[in-house]
């Protein structure tokens, strides 16, 4: 068998990964398969790459998402051909819509095998559509380059890395490999490595510059009552720095937990923490009367903040965003300002705002007033008790990952003070419940920090394959706090809940999975929690390596009753 093409494939793959390492890539996630053999063999030769083996490609991609959300640095994903590639899609969508970098290296059959019935062959060309910022199909590239001449590959790699970092988005390189896929022996691999001279010439990766602060300073001079509303923002994003500068200038802010402004390392008296319940009252929405609204990040999760923005749709608004889609479907913002997440904020100025004392004092008074409404205790253990306990476990040096559905809303509703975490990660790009466990695990793997994850039972089961990460060989610490109320109770907020004949079966979807046995099957530590006291004791313990599941058995009925009390707390005022 002629192994010359296998030699070229291996050497070409090593050169490609070497260039990625030169660009600062340190994390590589591999899902087992055959067609990707040249890439996998090449990755194995680099000690600079931390390799994580994950069987499920969907879990693998969400793990890469968590790595990038925690650090701002993309991970490389390697998979075989066929439906393995398609399993990346949910995480790619989330990454694109939440401005998170990711590098996809997908193996493919040779071009002549496409549109045939060859095994594990699907159309992988542009399979992710515009959810990747750059796409390249290699065609026969590994075989048309002369050995040692990788100029064409360097050009592609530079464009891919530049697009990934500057756009903070996924990029996709689809690579065709012919058989044989591997050199004939390990000795031959050693000979090929010793014969290959990897270039030391760096890739030129330009960084986009942005000057939002100069633009903001001109605007601030025209207004007396500016107000910041910060929705979900990634910790590494330049938007976070813009938010901090605005608050440091003395501008009050309504900040959701996912804005990073509620975390341990950043705290300010100008941050309003109980907006979700406070602004459910139409009277309270009128009491806060800004003449300029500065929106940061993706749209707020809170329904009451959406109502606040709608009530003030005639107020001048500006919106700063880092994704590829402006986050304002109703076009209420008069001005949109796109700031790439990885921007060089080269303004070199300090924002100044001549605060109107009456405006600041009035806002501070409302903020204190809103925080007086505490949690209404119920005889049973509730979802609210779980969220309430999390912010009481005050230890920094950790990451909090929050699932969608009620989890992210409960944190904002019940956590009335600074969150005891360095950063908060929420997948609000597409707002799905898929891949949340994997996201939290990836955040811990890449950052080296322990991660706590608040998640509902259905979202937990949706990504239960991620429990296999316990055996990934990586050092990480993920503590999963499951609010198990036996179903998707968030649908009780919708009008369909009045249709009793179909609601429970088709929407709330009650489940009776034995989570303890599921954990045992994956050698994952499990503890059943039935009180706030026990949960606080567990959260105050030192995080263990691997995965720990704290299953909180909560009452769905009392949880809803508790939420309604807080939602209605200000409606009578």
DSSP string covering 206-225, please? ---EE-HHHHHHHHHTT-SS
Q: Which residue's entry shows tokens 């707020």?
A: 300
pLDDT value of position 321: 92
The number of domains in the chain is: 3
Q: Are 173 and 218 within one domain?
A: no
Q: Which residues pair with 77 in a beta bridge?
A: 29, 104
User: Would 573 be classed as within a structural domain?
Assistant: no
Query: Is residue 572 one of the residues assigned to a domain?
Result: no
Q: What is the model's pLDDT at position 143?
A: 57
Whether the predicted pLDDT of 145 surpasses 60: no
If asked whether residues 148 and 221 sit together in one domain, one would say no
Least confident segment among 1-10, 93-102, 161-170: 1-10
* Same domain assignment for residues 389 and 332: no
> Residue 540's domain is classified under what CATH number?
3.40.50.970
pLDDT at residue 571 tops 90: no
CATH of the domain at 365: 3.40.50.1220
Q: Same domain, yes or no, for 354 and 460?
A: no
- Report the chain's mean pLDDT, rounded to a whole number: 88
Structure tokens at 313: 């749709």
CB 18 within 8 A of CB 150: no
**225 and 186 fall within a common domain:** no
Domain boundary among 195, 218, 245: 195
Q: Which of 30-39, 331-340, 426-435 has the lowest mean pLDDT?
A: 331-340
Residue 376 resides in a domain: no
Final residue in a domain of this structure, among 195, 217, 252:
195
Length of the chain: 573
Only one residue has tokens 């605005």, namely: 246
- Specify the pLDDT at position 524: 97
Q: Is the pLDDT of residue 139 over 70?
A: yes
**pLDDT, tens digit, 9 for 90 and up, residues 338-396:** 888 888 886 667 788 877 667 887 777 777 777 665 666 777 899 999 999 998 886 77
Q: Is the pLDDT assigned to residue 296 strictly greater than 90?
A: yes
* Same domain membership, residue 392 and residue 342: no
Report which of residues 132 and 352 the model is more confident about. Answer: 132
Residue at a domain's end among 171, 195, 219: 195
Q: Are residues 410 and 536 in the same domain?
A: yes
Q: Quick one: pLDDT band at residue 129, thresholds 50, 70, 90?
A: very high
* One domain, residues 313 and 426: no
Instruction: Quote the CA–CA distance of 366 and 368 in Å, as a whole number.
Output: 5
305 or 214: whose pLDDT is higher? Answer: 305
Q: How confident is the model at residue 329 (pLDDT cuts 50, 70, 90)?
A: low
What is the C-alpha separation between 162 and 37, in angstroms, rounded?
Answer: 26
How confident is residue 146, by pLDDT bands cut at 50, 70 and 90?
Answer: low
437 with 518: CB under 8 angstroms?
Answer: no
Residue whose structure tokens are 């990451």: 399
pLDDT digits (tens, 9 = 90+) for 496-526: 777 777 877 777 677 889 999 999 999 999 9
Name the more confident of 349 and 196.
Answer: 196
Are 420 and 507 in a shared domain? yes
Placement of tokens 């779980």 in the chain: 386
358 and 235 share a domain?
yes
Residues 401 and 365 in one domain: no
Q: Is the pLDDT of residue 152 over 90?
A: no
| 332 and 390 assigned to the same domain | no
Q: If 0-12 CB within 10 Å is exposed, 13-18 middle and 19+ buried, where does residue 315 land?
A: middle
Which are the contacts of 423, defined by CB distance < 8 A and separation ≥ 6? Answer: 70, 235, 260, 263, 399, 400
In a domain, 201, yes or no: no
Going by pLDDT thresholds of 50, 70 and 90, the confidence category of residue 141 is low
- Is residue 442 a part of any domain in this protein? yes
Residue 156, C-beta contacts closer than 8 angstroms, at least 6 positions apart: 136, 173
Q: What average pLDDT does the segment 299-313 reach?
A: 90
Integer Cα distance of 110 and 107 in angstroms: 10
Least confident of 58-62, 66-70, 187-191, 320-324: 320-324
Structure confidence at residue 458 as a pLDDT band (50, 70, 90): very high
How far separated are the first and last CA of the chain, in Å rounded?
83
- Domain that includes residue 414, residue range: 383-567
Which pLDDT value is given to residue 330?
A: 56
- What gap in Å lies between CA 211 and CA 349, rounded to an integer? 10
């Amino acid at each position: 068998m002629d192994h010359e093409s296998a030699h070229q494939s291996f050497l070409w793959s090593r050169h490609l990964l070497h260039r990625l390492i030169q660009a600062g890539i340190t994390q590589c996630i591999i899902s087992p398969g055959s067609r990707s053999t040249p890439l996998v063999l090449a990755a194995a030769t680099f000690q600079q790459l931390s390799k994580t083996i994950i069987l499920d490609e969907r879990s693998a991609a969400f793990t890469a998402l968590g790595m990038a959300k925690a650090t701002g640095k993309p991970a490389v994903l390697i998979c075989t051909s066929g439906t393995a590639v398609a399993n990346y899609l949910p995480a790619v969508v989330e990454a694109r819509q939440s401005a998170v970098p990711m590098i996809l290296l997908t193996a493919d059959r040779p071009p002549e095998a496409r549109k045939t019935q060859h095994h594990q062959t699907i159309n992988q060309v542009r399979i992710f559509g515009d959810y990747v910022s750059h796409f390249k199909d290699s065609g026969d590239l590994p075989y048309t380059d002369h050995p040692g001449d990788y100029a064409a590959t360097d050009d592609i790699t530079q464009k891919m890395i530049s697009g990934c970092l500057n756009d903070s988005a996924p990029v996709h390189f689809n690579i065709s490999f012919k058989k044989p896929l591997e050199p004939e022996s390990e000795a031959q691999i050693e000979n090929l490595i010793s014969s290959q001279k990897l270039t030391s010439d760096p890739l030129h990766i330009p960084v986009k510059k942005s000057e939002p602060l100069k633009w903001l300073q001109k605007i601030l001079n025209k207004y007396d009552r500016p107000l910041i509303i910060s929705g979900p923002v990634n910790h590494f994003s330049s938007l976070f720095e813009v938010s901090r500068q605005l608050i440091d200038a003395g501008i009050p802010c309504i900040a959701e937990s996912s804005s990073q402004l509620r975390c341990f390392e950043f705290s300010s008296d100008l941050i309003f923490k109980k907006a979700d319940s406070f602004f459910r009252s139409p009277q309270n929405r009128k009491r806060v009367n800004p003449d300029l609204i500065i929106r940061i990040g993706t749209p707020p999760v809170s329904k009451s903040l959406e109502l606040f923005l709608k009530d003030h749709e005639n107020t001048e608004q500006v919106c700063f965003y880092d994704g590829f889609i402006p986050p304002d479907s109703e076009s209420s913002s008069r001005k949109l300002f796109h700031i790439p997440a990885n921007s060089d904020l080269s303004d070199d100025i300090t924002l100044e705002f001549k605060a109107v004392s009456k405006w600041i004092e009035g806002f501070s008074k409302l903020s204190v007033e809103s925080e007086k409404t505490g949690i209404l205790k119920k005889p049973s253990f509730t979802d609210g008790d779980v969220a309430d306990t999390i912010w009481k476990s005050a230890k920094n040096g950790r990451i909090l990952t929050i699932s969608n559905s009620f989890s992210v809303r409960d944190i904002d509703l019940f956590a009335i003070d600074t969150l005891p975490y360095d950063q908060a990660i929420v997948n609000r790009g597409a707002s799905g419940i898929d891949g949340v466990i994997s996201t939290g695990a990836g955040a811990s793997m890449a950052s080296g920090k322990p991660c706590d994850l608040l998640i509902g039972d259905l979202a937990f089961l949706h990504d239960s394959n991620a429990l296999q990460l316990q055996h990934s060989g990586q050092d990480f610490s993920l503590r999963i706090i499951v609010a198990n109320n036996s179903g998707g109770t968030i649908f009780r907020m919708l009008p369909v809940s009045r249709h009793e004949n179909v609601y429970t079966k088709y929407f709330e979807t009650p489940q009776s999975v034995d989570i303890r046995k599921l954990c045992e099957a994956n050698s994952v530590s499990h503890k059943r929690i039935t009180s706030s006291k026990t949960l606080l004791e567990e959260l105050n313990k030192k995080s263990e390596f691997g995965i720990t599941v704290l299953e909180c058995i909560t009452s769905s009925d009392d949880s809803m009753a508790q939420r309604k009390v807080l939602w209605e707390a200000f409606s009578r005022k």
